Amino acid sequence: MTGTERTKRRVLVVGAGERVRADVLPVLALLSDRYELAGVRARSARTVESGGATVTVESLDELSAATVAGCDLVYVAVRKEAVPAVLGRLAAFDLSHADLLIETPVLLFKHLSHLRRIGSFRAAWAAEDTSALPWLDTLRAASALVGEPREVLLDRSAWRYHGLAMMKTLLRSERVTSARRRDAPATQARIDLRFAGGARGRLLEPRDYAVGHFVLSGSAGALTDSPRVARELGLRLLEPIARDGACAGFRLGAFTTELDQVERELLGPLEPGATVTSMMQAAKRVGLYRHFVALHAGRGAYPLIEALDDMAIDYLLEKLGRYVATPLTSLRTRPGRALLAAAMRFAARQGPVRE
């Protein structure tokens, strides 16, 4: 057995929807030197097409202990309403040797009592691709041009809890202190957020990558990925680097970062006039690829608690229109987690959760 074979991790994929077919399986195929597919499971057995290949999907109900025992990683990408049932099925096995990578929002607010089942895994992470976008490398390399991040505008360039995760990443601030959502008929919805340390964020919906853009402002300057906004406001422009009809990397002023060959393949052809935001769907696939690379290297992916925090804030904004971080409303705080743990212990005493 070679060293490469010894370091391969076996991954069990749960789900067979578009996300799995279009993103997960193709990315794993490109990482065949690091990952080995232990199977694809879903509610019913069938075959699906992915990347020009036919993939056999087996029933999750027929999953065996022997199969789970041979897995290092379980990837869950199913309908939001189906997550509790999937976690319940997986909880029937010993998972202490395996990590979990689960799609956001991880759990719906009404399903938080099922969080206890995630504790059966060795470690758990969220597949929040916006936290690992390839052009974030360029921003880090050119950080002196922006200085301390103070404000970010996501204008039709992100959606709900994904937008919160993207703001946290761009502002380098994990804690939202308050937020307000304003909805108006026939106009954009607007969400304004304040972060610990004083940074601010604004998210304008609906998401439309074809016309959307973002602006990041800091103590030393501001940047955007929109050529029009850059011209009108005199901002620095973050732009893709074109080479042989593909995106080879990204440029911000004199700073550039390069993509590896696999990432270039995942981004696909670079369309004329493409911007960072218009490339977002393909860039998120690169983010997923980077999550898998990081997990294999032992670095993890997007923290589960942050994904749950994003979900809870998004839910409260939708229901109440406002959010204020308190020990009882933030899942990131110790009292908040203690309250949640108490709720989960109470639920556990009631017996098995009915799916």
Over residues 272-280, mean pLDDT: 97
d(CA 222, CA 201): 14
Over residues 107-131, mean pLDDT: 91
For 73, phi then psi, to 5°, come to -145, 135
Residue whose pair of structure tokens reads 């993207």 in the numeric block: 166
pLDDT digit string, tens, across residues 156-206: 999 999 999 999 999 999 899 999 999 876 668 999 999 999 999 999 999
Q: How confident is the model at residue 113 (pLDDT cuts 50, 70, 90)?
A: confident
pLDDT digit string, tens, across residues 232-253: 999 999 999 999 999 999 999 9
When comparing pLDDT for 331 and 115, which is higher? 115
Q: How confident is the model at residue 271 (pLDDT cuts 50, 70, 90)?
A: very high
Q: Using the predicted structure, report yes or no on whether residue 337 has a pLDDT greater than 50.
A: yes
d(CA 118, CA 134): 29
pLDDT at 210: 96
Pairing of strands 236-243, 222-224: parallel
Name the strand (E) or helix (H) holding 306. Answer: helix 304-320
DSSP track, 143-203? HHHH-SEEEEEEESS--HHHHHHHHHHHHT---EEEEEEE--TTS-EEEEEEETTS-EEEE
Q: Using the predicted structure, report yes or no on whether residue 2 has a pLDDT greater than 60.
A: no
CA distances from 100 to 31, 51, 73, 332 (A): 18, 24, 6, 20
pLDDT at 334: 66
Name the strand (E) or helix (H) holding 261. Answer: helix 261-267
| Domain architecture of the chain: domains with CATH | 3-127 (3.40.50.720), 131-285 (3.30.360)
pLDDT at 306: 93
